[in-house]
Every structure is written in structure tokens, then in C-alpha cells.
Amino acid sequence: MQERPEPRAVLEALSRFLLEELQPEVTDKRLAFRVLIAAHLAATVAAELQVRGTHAEAELLRLSALLPDVPVSSDVRVALRDLNAALVERLVQGNPPEDDVALRAHLRLTLADALSVFSPRFDTALDIEG
Amino acid sequence: MPASFQDPALAGRVEAFLKAARGEDVQVVAMAPLAGGACQDMHRVELQTSQGPVRLVLRSDARRSLPASIGRREEFSVVEAARAAGVPTPAVHHLSEGLVRPGAWAYFMDWVDGEAIGRRVVKAQELSAARKRLPTQLAQALARIHTVTPRAHPNLFLRPLPERPVQGGLAFVRGMLEALQEPHPELEYVFQWLAANTPHDAGVCLIHGDFRTGNFLVTQEGLAAVLDWEFARWGTPAEDIGWLCVRDWRFGQNSLPAGGLATREAFLEAYARASGTEVSRRALHWWEVMGNVRWAAGSIHQGERYLSGEESDLEYMAIARRAPEMAWEALRLLERKG
């Protein structure tokens, strides 16, 4: 199967086209704003393709440690969905994993990984209010 | 009637309606759609009247609504009650059904000039003097909104009166979480914290429900008008103040949690001066955490509206991708412990 240009490179090219060639030519303000949104979405999905596997593996390791009794599928996506569903169920039932510090750290790390891709300029410092 | 109207038939109906409603000869000289919200259609309407030119906004029910939103018929009564309480918000006129679409309620409101774009309100150089006045003015506006009580206005809303706003807020967000299409343990974790740490409920009053930077008009003099009452409901004062403090409405001014304009402490003091009522720091913290969870879940639902085909605006997808920002902030607030 042909791999080049890779999906990430295609999305990066799409984002550059939207931002550098199309957006300056759009005179309608609302439409120009949507072109910016489209360029941003394409760029973030390109970034996501690059790190998705690494982030998923790390999330899976943390979840498996928090929920050692939950069976884990060999398919990472299925495993993550099952583990996250099990975690939600245990939280709803008032039976969360015992190590609350590790649980919070896991939730923060998972969000930080997502933010590094979706919102790279978002400040993840704990003290943002000065 | 000029032929260049985007919707000449609607412009014709509006002209005939306003002639009858105002009892004078008026001519619609321009009419154009305005960027609205998810629950209403809005048009700018330029009139020529015997008194001179008049500019109005026509605000109509949209084809769709969100679960927490009210229709234009209820909204009209809410705005009238708020204005009677002294809240600066545009006057509303001529409530009617079917003017824009069969079955859709609509009304006109006065046009008010001002800046509403959040990042400009918190950063524009020409509004720096306004920003010094805004915290006090916003606190005064909120205090006036909160003087409207169910006892004085028993029929303001069609929905039943919540006995406890805190429990009502929890139930609403519970419903949002149940409707998510994939598991979100980060939101469930914060929800469980909210359920275990409920604050004391204050009295029930009218709340704006979406009182935030971006939903009021600002001029160099300060607050010109409070807008967008579609999420108004019976609630509790801390709910409105907590929503104003949600990080997304600071537009980068993170050291000023109250709408990117004031510290929490300064805003609570201004509100206490304006209302004579103390809102506790603990209640504010709880409602701010709640606001972030609500907005995180709401953002994900916006993406679902696109995925289901209900909406075609790309912005809904972008909003859904920003949900981790609100979830992060909710968790950060738990670490901060108020």
C-alpha cells in the first residue's frame, strides 16, 4: 500500500493551504473565521496522528494499574473504551480506585496529553491566577 | 420595498406588522440576519418612521432549541421583569407568534451600540477605562436581576420552581453526563466531588443563566447592556457569579477570574455592596467547578449535534475538541480547593 504522502503530511498541507492561500483572499468575515477554524482543526488532527499511539499506550498503562481486575482487550482502542467505561461505572457506584492521588494524576495526565494536541497554547500550570 | 433584501417576503411581513403594531406608517429600509445563538434567529431591522430612522433587532425562535433554553415568549417576560428591576438591557416590544415562521414566537428589541466580543472587552486599549468600571456595574446588574423572585413573579417560567438550585444543577449535569456517547471519567470524577460537597442553598431568584464576558455590550463608559437571556431560570446568586468566573470567559486574562475583569474577591465585594447579600467563597467555588463541568459536557454535546447532522457549522466540531480545557480547569480547581 502506498504510504507517502502520509495522512499527517496531507493534513498539514491542507492546513497550510487554508491558512496561507485561502484565508487572506476571503473577504466575508464570518467565512474567513471558519477558514481559520478549519485550518486549526486540520493542524491539530495532523499533530494527533503523530502522538496518538504514544498517548494511548500511556493511558492504557495507567488505567490498567488503577483497575487491575478489569480484563484488557488486545485492541488498544477497545481496551481504553472498556477501562474508561469501568472507571466511570466505579465512580458512579461510589467505589473508586483506592489510590485517589494516582487517579487524579492519571486524569490530569490524560487531559494534558489531549490538550498538548487540541489546544497547544492552553496553560496547564496549576497556579495560573498569580 | 427594495428588491435587494435577503428575504423580501419576511421584510414585507415585518413592515406590515410594524405598521399595525406601532400605529404609524413605517418603511423597512434594510434588514439582514445577525449572528445569533443556537436557539434564536436574529435580524437587524432598519426602519424609516415619521419620527426618523429607527434600528431594531427582531429575535425569533429558531427551528431547534437546547434543553436548558427558554423560548422567545418566556424570554420576553423575563426581559420585562429584569428591566422593571433596573437591569440595563434593551427594551422589548411587540411579542407575536408566526411573524418569522409558523408557530415561532418573536419580538423586537431596541438596538444598543457596544462591543460584545469577549477578547476585545478584556483587552482592547480603548476600553481600558470601561474595564475599571465594569466589575461594579456588572455586580450591580446581577444584584438587580437577583431581586426578581418567584413570589413576585409566580408565572415567569413554564417550568416548575426548583426547591433547591444546587440539586437542580446536579440533576441537570447528571443528565448531560448520562447522554454522552463515550465514557468521560474526568467529568464523572468532578461530578462525584460536586455531589459530595454541596454548598448551603441560598434563596431562589431569577438568574441570567449565561452571565459572562461576551454576553454584554460595553462602550467606553462601561456596561451598556446585558444580552442573551435564553438560559434564564430560577436559581441562586452564586450560580451566576460562578459562571462568570469560568475560565473560558476570561479570554486569556487568567489573573482576573471574574470574566477577565476582576478577582473573585473584588467581585464578591462589589456584589455584596450592590445587593446587601454575601455570597460565600465556598458556594462560589462549587458553582465555578460546576460551571466548568457543565461547559465541558455542553461542548461535547455541541460536537454531537454536528455529528448527528442536526448542525452543519464547523465551529461545533472545534468547540467539542476544546472540552478538555474545561475538564482540566475543573480538576485544577479541585486541587486549588477554593
With cut-offs at 50, 70 and 90, classify the pLDDT of residue B337. Answer: low
Mean pLDDT of A21-27: 96
SS3 content of chain B, % helix, strand, coil (to 5): 45, 15, 40
Q: Residue B79 falls within a domain, yes or no?
A: yes
The pLDDT value given to residue A30: 84
Residue ranges of alpha helices (H) inside chain B are 8-22, 72-84, 118-123, 128-145, 165-178, 185-196, 237-244, 264-275, 281-307, 315-321, 323-336
Cell numbers standing for residue B246: 469560568
pLDDT at B6: 79
Mean pLDDT, all residues of chain B: 93
For residue B291, count other CB atoms closer than 10 A to its CB: 28
Q: What average pLDDT is seen over chain A?
A: 95
Q: Quick check: B102 pLDDT over 50? A: yes
Last residue of a domain, one of B59, B94, B110: B110
- Cα-based distances in Å from B232 to B200, B239, B301, B308: 22, 11, 20, 27
Digit-coded pLDDT (tens) for B26-62? 999 999 988 756 567 899 999 999 999 999 999 999 8
Contact B244, B138 (CB under 8 A): yes
Contact B255 A85 (CB under 8 A): no
Q: Are residues B126 and B230 in the same domain?
A: yes
Q: Are residues B263 and B325 in the same domain?
A: yes
Which residues in A lie closer than 8 A to residue B336 (C-beta atoms)? 126
pLDDT > 90? residue A9: yes
Nearest CB partner across the interface for B335, out of A34, A88, A126: A126
- Please say if the pLDDT value at position B152 is more than 80: yes
Contacts of A99 in chain B (CB under 8 A): none
B128 part of a folded domain: yes
Q: Residue B182 sits in a domain of what CATH number?
A: 3.90.1200.10
Chain A positions contacting chain B at CB under 8 Å are 30, 34, 37-38, 40-41, 44, 81, 84-85, 87-88, 91-92, 94, 96, 103-104, 107-108, 110-112, 114-115, 118-119, 122-124, 126, 128-130
Tell whether B145 is covered by a domain. yes
Which residues of chain A neighbour B313 with C-beta distances below 8 Å? 34
Nearest to B183 among A84, A107, A126 (CB): A84
What is the sign of the dihedral through the CA atoms of A110, A111, A115 and A118?
positive
Closest Cα of chain B to A96: distance in Å?
A: 9
The alpha carbon dihedral of B62, B64, B65, B70 has a sign of positive
Average pLDDT of the residues in B75-89:
97
The reply to whether residue B186 touches residue A110, judged by beta carbons under 8 angstroms, is yes
Q: How far apart are CA B118 and CA B132, in angstroms?
A: 16
Is B204 part of any domain?
Answer: yes
**Do residue B128 and residue B93 come from a single domain?**
no
Is the CB of residue A129 less than 8 Å from the CB of residue B266? no
Q: Per the domain annotation, does B2 fall within a domain?
A: no
Q: What is the CATH number of the domain that holds B68?
A: 3.30.200.20
Residue of B119, B302, B315, B135 lying closest to B214 (CA atoms): B119
Q: Which pLDDT belongs to residue B37?
A: 60
- Cβ pair B331:A108 closer than 8 A: yes
The B27-34 sheet, strands edge to edge: B27-34, B40-49, B52-61, B105-110, B92-97
Asked if B262 and B306 sit in the same domain, the reply is yes
Q: Domain check: are B158 and B302 in the same one? A: yes
- Percent of chain A residues topping a pLDDT of 70: 100
Say what the pTM is: 0.94
Instruction: Indicate whether B1 belongs to any domain.
Output: no
Do the domain assignments include residue B305?
yes
Q: Is residue B3 part of a domain?
A: no
- Mark whether B172 and B43 lie in a shared domain: no
List, for residues A41-56, the tens digit of each pLDDT value: 999 999 999 999 999 9
Same domain assignment for residues B157 and B91: no
Q: ipTM more than 0.85?
A: yes
Asked if B266 and B207 sit in the same domain, the reply is yes
Q: Do B167 and B314 belong to one domain?
A: yes
B74, B153 in Cβ contact below 8 A? no
Q: Do residues B203 and B284 both lie within one domain?
A: yes
Range of the domain at B20: 8-110
Decide if pLDDT at A35 tops 90. Answer: yes
pLDDT given at position A90:
98
pLDDT above 90: percentage of residues in chain A: 92
- Do B101 and B127 reside in the same domain of the chain? no
Residue A109 has pLDDT above 50, yes or no: yes
Instruction: Compute CA B216 distance to the chain's CA centroid, rounded to the nearest angstrom.
Output: 9
Same domain, B167 and B27: no
Query: Worst-scoring range by mean pLDDT, B16-25, B64-73, B236-245?
Result: B64-73
pLDDT at B157 over 90: no
Output the pLDDT for position B36.
Answer: 59
B177 pLDDT exceeds 50? yes
B225 in Cβ contact with B217 (< 8 Å): yes
- Burial bucket for residue B30 (CB in 10 Å: 0-12, 13-18, 19+): middle
B225-275 pLDDT tens trace: 999 999 999 999 999 999 999 999 999 999 999 999 999 999 999 999 999
The H-or-E segment that residue B43 falls in is strand B40-49
Residues in B closer than 8 angstroms to A103, CB to CB, are 189
Last residue of a domain, one of B63, B86, B110: B110
Count of domains observed in chain B: 2
* Boundary residue ending a domain (B87, B110, B133): B110
Q: If you count residue pairs, one on A and one on B, with CB atoms under 8 Å apart, how many are there?
A: 82
pLDDT at B1 over 60: no
Is the model's pLDDT at B66 over the cut of 80?
no
Task: Mark yes or no for CB contact A112/B318 under 8 Å.
Answer: no
Interface touch B254/A130, C-beta < 8 Å: yes
**CA A53 to each of CA A41, A57, B331: distance values in angstroms, whole numbers, following the listed order:** 19, 6, 25
Q: Is the pLDDT at B161 greater than 90, yes or no?
A: no
The nearest alpha carbon in chain A to B325 belongs to: A115
